[in-house]
């Protein structure tokens, strides 16, 4: 019995036979008449074959060129807004910092911590803008494998450094 004939036989069986289990007919060909082939198929296997259409399909690969281009092109705008606001935030309390004599130790430490975090946000935003611009240009060059199961998997595989650093 050929493989395609056995699949058709499996798919054409009734639901009652699938629930109770059955045995395929024994294969008797001239080549292997001495050996008898008997296969027992469980009901869960038949149900899986009927649902999936015969066999497990591999995940389809898709082209995610446009997704990568949109991600690296679009992430620069929010990073630019954050860079501008953190740059402005560094100079909000400049007059209080100059009059350090009237601030308590706790207030000076909190103010220093605030300025440090503002500077860090500004620098990380600039890093995001630069990395996203470089990755965007690399995507435009097109010298990478665009096919993957998901956009995340493609960007993680092809642009690992850029993809990780722009998501800080």
What's the rounded Cα separation, in Å, for the pair 47 and 13?
11
What's the rounded Cα separation, in Å, for the pair 131 and 139?
12
Q: How many residues does the chain have?
A: 168
**For residue 162, which of 126, 129, 135 has the smallest C-alpha distance?**
135
Per run of 10 residues, the mean pLDDT along the chain (length 168 residues) is 46 47 52 54 58 63 92 94 94 74 85 93 96 94 92 93 88
In three-state secondary structure terms, 108 is helix
Phi, psi for residue 148 in degrees, rounded to 5:
-160, 175
pLDDT digits (tens, 9 = 90+) for 74-110: 999 999 999 999 999 988 887 776 766 688 889 889 9
Q: Kindly state the DSSP code that residue 100 receives in the 8-state scheme.
A: G
In this prediction, residue 103 carries a pLDDT of 82
Single pTM value for the model:
0.60
């Amino acid at each position: 019995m050929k493989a395609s004939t056995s699949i058709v036989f499996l798919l054409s069986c009734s639901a009652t036979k699938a629930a109770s289990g059955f045995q395929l007919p024994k294969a008797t060909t001239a080549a292997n008449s001495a050996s008898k082939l008997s296969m027992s198929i469980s009901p869960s296997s038949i149900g899986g074959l009927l649902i999936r259409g015969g066999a497990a399909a591999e995940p389809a690969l898709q082209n995610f060129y446009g997704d990568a281009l949109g991600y690296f092109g679009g992430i620069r705008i929010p990073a630019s807004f954050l860079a501008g606001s953190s740059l402005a935030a560094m100079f909000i309390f400049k007059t209080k910092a100059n009059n350090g004599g009237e601030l308590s130790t706790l207030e000076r430490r909190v103010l220093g911590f605030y300025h440090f975090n503002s500077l860090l946000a500004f620098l990380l935003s600039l890093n995001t803008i630069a990395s996203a611009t470089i990755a965007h240009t690399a995507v435009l060059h097109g010298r990478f494998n665009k096919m993957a199961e998901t956009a995340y998997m493609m960007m993680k595989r092809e642009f690992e450094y850029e993809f990780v650093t722009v998501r800080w």
